[in-house]
Amino acid sequence: MKQEDCHDTLLSRLRDVYCAHPDMTAFAPFPEHVTPQQVRSRFRSVCDMMRNDPDLRSIAYTDAMRAIQDAGPTMHWRETYKEDAEGAGFMDRLGCYAVIGNNSPFTSPSLRLFALYMPAGLYYPSHRHPAEEIYLVLAGRARFWRDGAPDQILSEGEAVFHASNQAHGTETTDSPVLCLVAWRNHFDVLPVLATDTDG
């Protein structure tokens, strides 16, 4: 498949999932127009981990999951916490690329959209960012926590909202997880790890 076709398929599968989920459409409408742009791919080994993970299974979102896996090699895999000493331990196995945003095949002034993969047995420590955020689990399950709310184990079809600068984190145990993540507002500040002292 040509790269543009692969990206168009991905966008269309994710739009279908997004628009069918009331929590996502309540968070922000899916942009009516997104602008295609060139993406400079950046491969990371977690891409192959995601594509070959035999335990990554979805019932309702198989098409979206496959589209995320298929597009993987053409995408710009993020290295958000690589420069952070605390991040060294988990960043190799934290897989994330943007579908709508910077270094991604599409852009929009109103929404950012990411695919996020974590293999089984990964602890993604508390972090924060000014953008408001929603996670929708597409496959697998994980424990999600956020400041001021009880922990939740979320599986396929379940979503969680993070307010601006609310510290939050995720842990997988016996299963991997694949999420669709959307951001609204304050796009241009990257996430930082939350230290013990600031929550």
* Contact footprint for Fe ion (CB under 5 A): 133
Cα distance between residue 69 and residue 48, in whole Å: 9
Structure-token match 């579908």, residue found: 99
Structure-token match 């408001």, residue found: 132
The answer to whether 164 and 2 are in contact (CB under 8 A) is: no
Q: How far is the CB of 162 from Fe ion (least distance, A)?
A: 6
Candidates 165, 135, 130; CA nearest to 147 is 165
Beta carbon nearer to Fe ion, 6 or 193:
193
Beta carbon nearer to Fe ion, 35 or 152:
152
Cα distance between residue 54 and residue 187, in whole Å: 34
Q: How far is the CB of 8 from Fe ion (least distance, A)?
A: 27
At residue 168, the 3 state secondary structure works out as strand
Beta carbon nearer to Fe ion, 13 or 127:
127
Residue of minimal Cβ distance to Fe ion: 133
Cα distance between residue 135 and residue 24, in whole Å: 9
CB proximity list for 82: less than 8 A, separation 6 or greater = 88, 91
Q: How far is the CB of 168 from Fe ion (least distance, A)?
A: 6
Q: How far is the CB of 163 from Fe ion (least distance, A)?
A: 11
Q: How far is the CB of 66 from Fe ion (least distance, A)?
A: 25
CA 154 to chain CA centroid, nearest Å: 14
Beta carbon nearer to Fe ion, 133 or 156:
133
Q: How far is the CB of 135 from Fe ion (least distance, A)?
A: 8
Beta carbon nearer to Fe ion, 42 or 186:
186
The answer to whether 89 and 124 are in contact (CB under 8 A) is: no
The backbone torsions φ and ψ at residue 13, rounded to the nearest 5 degrees and listed phi first, read -65, -40
Beta carbon nearer to Fe ion, 53 or 133:
133
